[in-house]
Amino acid sequence: MKRMNYLHHALQIRKTRKKGRGVFALEALPAGIVVEIAPVIVMTAAERKKLDKTLLHDYIFEWGADRKSCCMALGYIPLYNHSYKPNCEYLMNFKSELIAIQTLRDIKKGEELQFNYNGAGDLDAPLWFHKK
C-alpha cells in the first residue's frame, strides 16, 4: 500500500438506530478518498477457531491469501456497519498488516460510512448475522 494521507479527523463514532454504533462523516467527503488507515493484529487459524466462539467473531476479518487466519483491526474499523449498497470499501495490505477504508462515492456530511462485509467475494451473500 502506498503512503496515503487520510481523513480520520473527519469521522465520528455515534449510535445508530438499529445497528449499535457506527462511523459518520463530520464533513462532506469526495469519492475515492482514504478516510482511515489502521494497523491490524494478525492471529493464526487456531486462534481464529477460538475467537469464532466469542463476541469478537463479529469484529474480526479473514486474513491472508488463504483466508485461514484472521485479524483484529484497530482504530474505528471494527465499528463500520455493513451495507449491501456500501459507500466505502476496505482494502487489505497483508505485507504491511494494514486495512484502509476508502470512499466509493461522494458522502454527505452526517452520513454513515458503511462497507460490504463480504469484501471482494459474493457481495450479495447473506452474512452470519442474517442467517440466525
Q: Which region among 2-16, 20-34, 48-62, 98-112 has the lowest average model confidence (pLDDT)?
A: 2-16
Give me the domain span that covers residue 19: 8-117
Can you give the pLDDT at residue 121? Answer: 52
For the segment 2-22, what is each residue's pLDDT rounded down to a tens digit?
A: 555 556 788 999 999 888 899
Residue 1 forms part of a structural domain: no
Task: Report, as an integer, the average pLDDT of 102-120.
Answer: 91
Residue reference for cell 447473506: 126
Question: Domain total for the chain?
Answer: 1
Residue 79 forms part of a structural domain: yes
Q: How far apart are CA 49 and CA 61, in angstroms?
A: 13
| All three cell numbers of 39 | 494497523
Are 39 and 27 within 8 A, CB to CB? no
Q: How far apart are CA 17 and CA 14, in angstroms?
A: 10
Residue 129 forms part of a structural domain: no
Residue 65 forms part of a structural domain: yes
Across the chain, mean pLDDT equals 86
Q: How far apart are CA 11 and CA 28, in angstroms?
A: 10
**Looking at the whole model, is its pTM more than 0.85?**
no
Can you give the pLDDT at residue 55? Answer: 85
Residue reference for cell 505485507: 95
Can you give the pLDDT at residue 131? Answer: 47
